[in-house]
Homo-oligomer: A and B are copies of this chain.
Amino acid sequence: MESEKIIIDEGKFIPHLSVDCVIFGFHGEQLKVLLPKVKSLDLWSLPGGYVMKDEDIEAAAQRILEERTGVTDIYLEQFYIFGKANRSTGETLKKVLLANNFAIDEKSWVFERFVSVGYYALVDFSKVNTKIGIYDEVCEWHDIHQLPDLAFDHAEITLKALETLRFMLDDKLIGLNLLPDTFTMKELQILYETILDKPLRRDNFQRKILSMGILERVEKKFTGAAHKAPYLYKFIK
């Protein structure tokens, strides 16, 4: 049985431009990245797509992320544009479209050179419910140290996002976006150690974080054993 072809209306999009998203989550003392796997192919990639002609790039990133992963309404920040002329070829994309029964002219810009805008996001792992898009078979979290082979230059894009995350960690305390609403000092330190991939001294870490004046200690509730429980903190918005 031959199923019907799905027509891609390439005229809707800005040619030669794409968006790729690196979504970080933190769970079980691992920094994780959310990756869809393309249907019928053993091909993992960052969630990505095209920008419509009348669409802000940031809105495109939000839309693509929702379509490919089910994740909505999260803070995304662009971190780099990947603009080398030889960074992608059309071969992989041809396989993807063929495997998914898409119809598109072989001479389309879709198979030519792409400039890609990289976005990263930090999400509270516990609040994310993923679903899958029309291209994809699954959408799963992967430990940053055990990523599958990624299509195109998506391994390089992921690494650049990680470097940006590390660089920004001190200045903006953006790492807090990866934690639940309340957390212990130890959990925060483990998060930092995981992202930076190195141990930190507990006393230095605690002094530095508290001196920033952005954490508030949550009052302990009386439980009868409260004196043994560690303090919980929350972010002062």
Question: Which A60-85 residues have a C-beta within 8 angstroms of B?
Answer: 78, 80-81, 83-85
What bracket does the count of chain A residues touching chain B fall in?
20 to 34
**For residue A84, which residues in chain B have a CB less than 8 angstroms away from its CB?**
56-57
Interface mask (A71-107 → B, CB under 8 Å = 1, otherwise 0) = 0000000101101110000000000000000000000
**For residue A113, which residues in chain B have a CB less than 8 angstroms away from its CB?**
14, 53-54
**For residue A53, which residues in chain B have a CB less than 8 angstroms away from its CB?**
85, 112-113
Docked-complex contact A17 and B57, CB < 8 angstroms: no
**For residue A78, which residues in chain B have a CB less than 8 angstroms away from its CB?**
80-81
A171 contacts B by Cβ under 8 Å: yes
Docked-complex contact B115 and A14, CB < 8 angstroms: yes
Q: Which of A17, A57, A81 has the most CB of B within 10 A?
A: A81
Chain A residues at the B interface, C-beta cutoff of 8 Å: 14-17, 51, 53-58, 78, 80-81, 83-85, 112-113, 115, 117, 167, 171
Q: Please, could you name 17 A-B residue pairs with CB atoms under 8 Å apart, sorted by A? A: A14-B115, A15-B16, A16-B17, A17-B17, A17-B115, A51-B83, A54-B113, A56-B83, A56-B85, A57-B81, A57-B83, A57-B84, A57-B115, A78-B80, A81-B81, A83-B117, A167-B171
